[in-house]
Amino acid sequence: MTQHKKRHKVVYIISHIDKAIGFEWISDKLDKSQFELAFILLNDQPSYLAKHLKEKGVTVHELRYVSKKDMPVTLLKVINLLRKEKANVIHTHMYAADIIGQTAGKILRIKKRVYTRHSSNENSKYHNKKRIDNLVNSLTTHILAISENVKNILITEEGVKPQKIRLIHHGFKLEEFANVPKEEIIELSEKYNPQGKRPVIGVVARYSHWKGIQYTIEAFKKVLALHPNALLLLANAKKGDYKNEIATLLSELPGGSFHEIEFEHNLFALYHLFDVYVHVPIDAELEAFGQTYVESLAAGIPSVFTNSGIAREFIEHEKNALIVDFKNADQIYESILKLLNNKDLRDKLIKNGREDVREAFSLEKMICNLEKLYSE
């Protein structure tokens, strides 16, 4: 008589996420013959992610979590849910989920307790939360580092033993960025650029000081001098600890020369509105990964970057993007003009960029690495 191998019960615990397509991809692609996946979501209101997962038949528990005052009650609920789900692997994402989920897992003595470190050293530099990072590090059995940068910070700044860390890059359905239906691009263009302004300079980043958006705005002012019909499109806008300063800088631009997009579900089509893409964090370490480095190249958008986060592992100047110095608006401006004026360079960067991200950041590669980690 054939005996069926028991599946691993993996429970993802995630906080304050509305829509995150990466989790949708994981729920679709994780080998269902080996792993049974469930989700516990901690949010202040019902999320798009919960709705999507339920429609796909995935087990989802969504708990209302607004602030730290909800932590004791939420911890008890998570403990009960993990018991109910008979989890033997938990994987937590984001701060509240990391603290609550890993504490619950430790109390229940769940054998494998994984968390993904989504930040680098931003918390110690800006938010005085290093002790929280240290707490979570101590509660887990495995830490998933999303880049060499994060791995190095865990080891050198936080004293984590290397054998506790697994380096697994984010994976993407890269073809969805490249093969976007024209009607979807037209729909977004009519929504965000109805006057058909050109060139369009794109940014996808929350308004934090270290994202360097202020230097892009300064560079864009100079672009307008040569291209008065240019448009600056800022996505993930109007949120972050630097939003007031960014609002002041934008108020100095001519009316109609910029548009702020708070959130756009169709990220795949959004990138195709841009003629040049700019992502310029202000130092090498603050960007833990920077998914937008990969997404923009997968979409085939000529890009200007600073060498931060995951860019340090695969971006090469004038091979797949243009690299500028940190905090250097003049170089950003010069690089934008270079891309606008040099078709051969644009074509080269587009071709090489797509090839390079395909090799390093496929969804299949990430899923394979996750399955190996969960089944070890």
- Tell which residue, 156, 97, 90, 86, has the closest CA to residue 121: 156
Residue identified by tokens 């009316």 is: 255
pLDDT of res. 127: 63
pTM over 0.85: yes
Q: How far apart are CA 308 and CA 122, in angstroms?
A: 13
Contact 338, 218 (CB under 8 A): no
The one-character DSSP state at 127 is: I
Contact 194, 266 (CB under 8 A): no
pLDDT of res. 3: 47
What's the N-to-C CA distance of the chain in angstroms?
A: 26
Residue identified by tokens 């972050």 is: 240
Contact 169, 175 (CB under 8 A): no
pLDDT of res. 122: 73
- Tell which residue, 69, 52, 55, 61, has the closest CA to residue 13: 61
pLDDT in tens, 85-112: 999 999 999 999 999 999 999 999 999 9
- Tell which residue, 123, 98, 126, has the closest CA to residue 42: 98
Q: Which residues fall within 8 angstroms of residue 120, CB to CB, at 6 or more apart?
A: 147, 149, 150, 153, 285, 286, 287, 288, 309
- Longest distance between any two alpha carbons in the chain, whole Å: 78
pLDDT of res. 128: 65
What interhelical angle do 95-107 and 71-85 show, nearest 10?
A: 60
Contact 86, 7 (CB under 8 A): no
Q: Which residues fall within 8 angstroms of residue 67, CB to CB, at 6 or more apart?
A: none
Provide the H-helix boundaries in 56-210: 71-85, 95-107, 122, 130-139, 148-156, 174-178, 182-192
Residue identified by tokens 């795949």 is: 268
Domains of the chain listed by start with CATH number: 8-171+362-375 (3.40.50.2000), 174-360 (3.40.50.2000)
Low-confidence ranges of the chain (pLDDT < 50): 1-3
Q: How far apart are CA 128 and CA 131, in angstroms?
A: 8
pLDDT of res. 132: 87
Residue 201 phi, psi dihedral angles, 5° rounding:
-100, 125
Contact 352, 321 (CB under 8 A): no
Query: What is the CB neighbour count within 10 angstroms for residue 127?
Result: 11
- Tell which residue, 57, 47, 56, has the closest CA to residue 20: 47
The one-character DSSP state at 163 is: G
The one-character DSSP state at 2 is: P
pLDDT of res. 130: 75
Q: How far apart are CA 298 and CA 166, in angstroms?
A: 25
AA letter at 212: G
Q: How far apart are CA 82 and CA 11, in angstroms?
A: 8
Q: How far apart are CA 214 and CA 245, in angstroms?
A: 8
- 3-state secondary structure at position 58: coil
- Tell which residue, 338, 332, 245, has the closest CA to residue 281: 332
The reply to whether omega before 254 is within 30° of 0 (cis) is no
